Amino acid sequence: MVISPQNSRLGLTSLTKRVGHVDRPASPDGELIRYRYIEETEELATNGLTNNRHILDMITKELLEKSRITGLEVEKKIKDLSPVMFEDFVKPFQIDLEQDGPLPHNDKLRYKPLDIYPAPLHRC
């Protein structure tokens, strides 16, 4: 599938504004909420790094000695050092087919499913 203006099925439809639709004005409350989330996330990340400083120091020491370390080696050493994990805020979305049944399907969609296939290999 080619994503270009020549492709009538995809083209630039999602990139262009639709006639008659006006952009919503930015609200000052929305900006405050966005900044609050950024600050909270930054604080959470800083606390996580501070709580696991001993692990970061160990990884730094290993890298200074060896200059390379694999993810498996790091994983082994981290398990021994008991890392402080973040609280999981989001519950995973689970569907029980026996209880909930299959997901609803809408046959009256405006778009056709895309035909995606690998591009042919170019040989010189």
> What are phi and psi for residue 23, nearest 5 degrees?
-65, 140
- Residue ranges, the chain, pLDDT below 50: 1, 11-16
pTM of the model: 0.43
* Alpha-carbon span 33 to 83, nearest angstrom: 31
* Alpha-carbon span 20 to 30, nearest angstrom: 24
Non-local (6+) Cβ contacts of 112 within 8 A are: 9
Q: Is 67 helix (H, G, I), strand (E, B) or coil?
A: coil
Q: Give me the helix-helix angle, 71-80 and 53-66, nearest 10°.
A: 140
pLDDT value at residue 26: 55
Q: Are 111 and 11 in contact (CB under 8 A)?
A: no
